[in-house]
A and B are shown apart, each in its own frame.
Chain A
Amino acid sequence: MSFLLTQAVPGDPVTANLGQRASEDPDAVAAFRAANGLDKSLPEQYLTYVGNLLTGDFGTSQQTRNPVASDLAEKVPATMELALAAILVAVVLGVGFGIVAALYRDRWPDQVLRVLSLSGVSVPTFWLALIAYYWISFKLDLLPAGGRLSPGAPTPPQVTGFYTVDSLLAGDWATFGDAVSRLVLPALVLASFTVGVLLRFTRAAVLEVLGDEYVRAARAKGLPELTVVRRHVLRPALLSVVTVTGVAFAGLLSGTVLVEQIFGWRGLGAYAYTSALALDLPAIMGVSVVVAVIYILINLVVDLLYGVIDPRLRLS
């Protein structure tokens, strides 16, 4: 389906890639079409594409002229490192604050957190990225930003593609510090929206459970409040929070398109953006397939977590 969608694009990839040359040099156009298989019929192109996909061949990017698979192998770890760091921040802050907000319902911590949560979902990520980069990194010089490592720094030997993990594995503390410090700012910016979402959601979920009769019963039999919250409230409340976290992670991936743009983070988001502008079909398709795979993995993790949280689901 995504294949048809990208084929439905009325723009002509030939003119998008060759630009001025396309109108002046018909030979170049023909050569470009032949080289990219664009002279064949649509079903033929589709079959070739799926066939190649099964063998791990995503085709050749018309923009970078590299195989899309190798482009992706380079970009995906960068984005995953950023997105995982951001979701970690978001879950810790969002769920933690959400529980606090629910327990202090309508008192001042709840009011403050409500404004925080609403600000998080209201701030334009691309603007926050720009402001954070300018003030925190450039003006105040508190944290470095821009790229994944200092300019000119050697990349750690590739194992996972996560510079933080790879540098640790190599025992290279200087590179590790560099990679972590450059990860902090983009991850915080990327997490801002998700913190807001998780905060308000956790608050609602905890409040809903707090109103249930078995919580009244648990209190009535004299359990300490902390035990009531930990054993009887959090477990059922977290079930819905886990679902939202899965969805929120998908949202984070969208956010990378904007955040990577500002921070010069050469990942999937930036790649998707340049590919979309150039109507680079193999690259767009490659990104879609990779993201679809990530979604499936997230759903799998969420389903597994359900089983961990709710023992009833393990039986059925």
Chain B
Amino acid sequence: MTGPDPLLVPAAPLAGDVDVPGAAAAAGEERAARTLTRSPWRRPLAVIGLVVIAAWVLIAVFAPALAPYDPLAQVAPKLLEPSAEHLFGTDNLGRDVLSRVLYGSRLSVPLALLLVVLATVVGTVLGAVAGYFGRWVDGGIMRLTDLVFAFPGIILAMAVTAALGAGLRNAVLALVIVTWPSYARVVRGLVLSTRESDHIQASRLLGASALRTLAVDVRPTVLGPVLVLSALDVGNAVLLLSGLSFLGLGARPPAPEWGAMVSAGAAVFDSWWVGLFPGLAILTVVLAFNFLGDTLRDALDPRTARALRG
């Protein structure tokens, strides 16, 4: 990976000056970095994502001040259509849907973040160990991931949650069990691909310990993709958690959780507003995280970064 980027070499002769090719490559690197930092408005999706996430964080913090009614109290006749008093209508128990949607942000977003952090840590450590040490360590850990992958994610999560007892905490635990293997696989693959590369071999020859090699020489290869993977996964975590709640395995009533609210909406099919608004809340949060994650991936992934430059 030394020497000038072949895609950029022709630029110098064409420009007609006497720059050495290396300088042209350096200029290219700089240009790539600038594409990302220059102006956020050049990446509108990321800006939208950030704004929406910021908005939801504010809503979560100030929910008591923003919500017009108590999310748990029966404040009006049941199943009122959206009106000036109840912008999103009322649900099957006469609770204000808007207030419940606002309060719902206090459950879904923090728990999804927690879920991703836990899965990333567990998956990265196990994957790095498996990839670096190989042999039976690798075999053991990979069989474990196979075991998890042998079940459709949500069925395993359903079974584990049902086993532990329905509830949001158990739903998070069940989903950590279901999601860590994808991190482990990616990290293992990355470690395997760099393990034999020259700089790792050199470091090993210099007598670096396994821990040092992993932490110093392998880490740069692994960190970017893993962070991107986690960033991309936050949205998915919101979806999975609300999915379990939709099935009645996550949040317990009367907790204002978005998935559970959509489920209530399905039960009162004719009153479309009961299910529509909490679902839109899920959609906006997940979309915002995915907008951000997508931009981040373009920026950090060396393959797309190269494509962006070329």
Interface residues of A (CB under 8 A from B): 1-2, 5-6, 8-11, 105, 114-115, 118-119, 121-128, 130-131, 134-135, 138, 200, 204, 207-208, 210-211, 213, 250-251, 253-255, 257-258, 261-262, 272-273, 276-277, 279, 284, 287-288, 291-292, 295
Contact = CB atoms under 8 A, between A and B. Distances in A.
A135 to B, nearest CB: 8
15 contacts: A11-B163, A118-B287, A121-B290, A124-B242, A124-B286, A126-B246, A130-B266, A131-B275, A134-B269, A208-B303, A211-B307, A255-B154, A273-B158, A292-B150, A295-B149
A276 B158 contact: yes
B304 A204 contact: yes
A2 B150 contact: yes
Interface in B154-183: 154-155, 158-159, 162-165
B259 interface: yes
Interface in B246-267: 246-248, 259, 262-263, 265-266
A300 B289 CA distance: 35
A9 B269 CA distance: 34
A257 B155 contact: yes
A291 B155 CA distance: 10
A273 B247 contact: yes
A122 B243 contact: no
B304 A8 contact: no
Nearest to A272: B155
B71 interface: no
Interface residues of B, number: 48
B271 to A, nearest CB: 10
Contacts of A288: 150-151, 155
B75 interface: no
Counting from the closest, the 9 A-B pairs by CB-CB distance are A127-B279, A9-B163, A254-B152, A122-B286, A122-B287, A276-B158, A254-B154, A118-B290, A124-B282
A258 to B, nearest CB: 6
B154 A258 contact: yes
B9 interface: no
Contacts of A123: 283, 286
Interface of B: 6-7, 45, 147, 149-155, 158-159, 162-165, 235-236, 239, 242-243, 246-248, 259, 262-263, 265-266, 269, 272, 275-276, 278-279, 282-283, 286-287, 290-291, 294, 303-304, 306-307, 310
Contact of B282 (A2, A127, A279, A284): A127
B278 to A, nearest CB: 8
A207 B152 contact: no
Contacts of A254: 152-155
Main SS at interface, chain A: helix
A105 B307 contact: yes
Contacts of A127: 262, 275, 278-279, 282-283
Contacts of A250: 149, 152
B250 to A, nearest CB: 12
Nearest to B276: A131
A123 B242 CA distance: 11
A130 B307 contact: no
Given A8-B163, A118-B287, A124 B158 contact: no
Given A8-B163, A9-B162, A126-B262, A287 B155 contact: yes
B247 A258 contact: yes
A289 to B, nearest CB: 10
Contacts of A273: 158, 247
Given A126-B263, A272-B158, 8 more contacts: A8-B163, A11-B165, A114-B45, A124-B279, A127-B279, A208-B303, A251-B153, A257-B247
B175 to A, nearest CB: 12
Contact of A131 (B165, B279, B307): B279
Contacts of B279: 124, 127-128, 130-131
A213 B307 contact: no
Nearest to B247: A273
A284 B159 CA distance: 8
A122 B232 CA distance: 11
B6 A213 contact: yes
Contacts of A124: 239, 242-243, 246, 259, 262, 279, 282-283, 286
Contacts of B153: 251, 254
